[in-house]
Amino acid sequence: MSQDFGRELPHAHTQTVHRKPTRYLVVIDAGGYVVARLFLDTREQVGEFDAATEEVAQMTTGLVADKGAEGAEWDRALEGHSASERHDAQVYTLDL
> What per-residue confidence (pLDDT) applies to 49?
94
Nearest one of 79, 60, 57 to 69, comparing CA atoms:
79
For residue range 28-81, list pLDDT tens digits in order. 999 889 999 999 999 999 999 999 999 999 999 999 999 999 999 999 999 999
What is this structure's pTM? 0.80
In whole angstroms, what is the distance from residue 59 CA to residue 10 CA? 35
CB 26 within 8 A of CB 93: no
Residues β-bridged to residue 27: 36, 90
